[in-house]
Structure 1
Amino acid sequence: MHFVFGGAFNGKRRWVMNVYNNDTLTWISAYEQPSFPKEIYGEGVVVLEGIETWVSELIHNGFSIDEAVAFFEQQLSNWQKQCSRLVLLGTEIGKGIVPMDEEDRKWRDACGYVYQMIVRKAERVDQIWYGISTRLKGE
């Protein structure tokens, strides 16, 4: 599994398309399909974009932070069984101002915990800022 994260509109999508330009890509975007995908299937590389949006859906549907992380971890395990190569894209939301709304703070915190879990499980992690990648984990 490969995790790619960075700021909003910092070139994550373009960077992934360039890195995997010789592979068949199945692209599933939370920005276009906000419902949490239970099953994913695709040839080649499956890209799941907008992890923070799906975490938000869980929090706004009443999940606690711990429940959201546990649910996402189980779902990640299922996704890995359903495809041969998985790439996750997430927008960094933890470096800004702390939200005043309690539910938004829960979402931000849950994203941080979900991203930590993904990083532990990923073979490769890249951070993208303004189109420039920094490899944080993997070969």
Structure 2
Amino acid sequence: MHTFIGGAYNGKHEYVRRWLKERGIEDVEWYVGQLPKTPTSHTVVVSKLEEVIKPFLEEDEVTLAIQIVEQLQLLEKQHQVIIIATEMGRGIVPIEQQDRQLRDTLGRLYQQLFAISDHVTRIWYGIAEEIK
């Protein structure tokens, strides 16, 4: 699994498109704001995980993160999985309680996701930095 992370509008999607093209990977399915059910392509790109977890913010954030990571690990058994993660907050605490919950839940999810990812790349305005 390869995870790309960066702030909103930092060029993550465009970078991943170029990255895939440079590697000759054309058989790709993109899932925006949803987890794949039965993908048919060899490579699966999942983005906007914040949209995936928003309906479940009342659930325990650690349990929710574990469930999502487990789904991605099952997917990885048959597909190359690429995650595009949006960094939320950069240390700034949101005023609204629901926004804080979203940020905290994403933080828990990203910790687990990064731990299982083979590679983690930070995208900062289109420039890549390998973290792992």
User: Is the structural similarity TM-score above 0.5?
Assistant: yes
Q: CA, structure 1 residues 50+40, in 2 after alignment: closer, same or farther (shift >3 Å)?
A: farther
1:58 to 44, 56, 59: 56
1:104 to 96, 99, 108: 99
| Post-superposition offset of 1:96 | 4.9
What SS is found at the alignment partner of 2:74? helix
Mapped contact 1:11–1:128 kept (Cα < 8 A): yes
| Post-superposition offset of 1:104 | 1.7
Runs of 4+ with >6 A deviation: none
1:26 to 25, 29, 38: 29
RMSD: 1.6
How many aligned positions are there? 129
For structure 2, list consecutive stretches of 5 or more residues without a partner in the other structure.
none
Letter in 1 for 2:28: L
Note the 1:71-82 alignment, pairs <5 A: 71-81=67-77
Q: CA, structure 1 residues 40+115, in 2 after alignment: closer, same or farther (shift >3 Å)?
A: farther
Letter in 1 for 2:110: Y
Note the 1:1-139 alignment, pairs <5 A: 1-21=1-21, 22-23=24-25, 24-30=27-33, 36-37=34-35, 39-59=37-57, 62-81=58-77, 83-137=78-132
- The 2-side partners of 1:65 and 1:41 are apart by 26
Mapped contact 1:94–1:112 kept (Cα < 8 A): no
Letter in 2 for 1:51: L
**TM-score for both structures, normalised by structure 1:** 0.84
| Post-superposition offset of 1:97 | 2.6
Identity of aligned residues (%): 29
For structure 1, list consecutive stretches of 5 or more residues without a partner in the other structure.
31-35
What SS is found at the alignment partner of 2:131? strand
| Post-superposition offset of 1:69 | 1.3
- The 2-side partners of 1:51 and 1:40 are apart by 18
| Post-superposition offset of 1:38 | 5.5
Deviation by residue 1:42-90 (Cα, 9 ceiling, x = unmatched): 323110011222122321xx21212221221222222223x32000011
Deviation by residue 1:102-122 (Cα, 9 ceiling, x = unmatched): 222111011011111111100
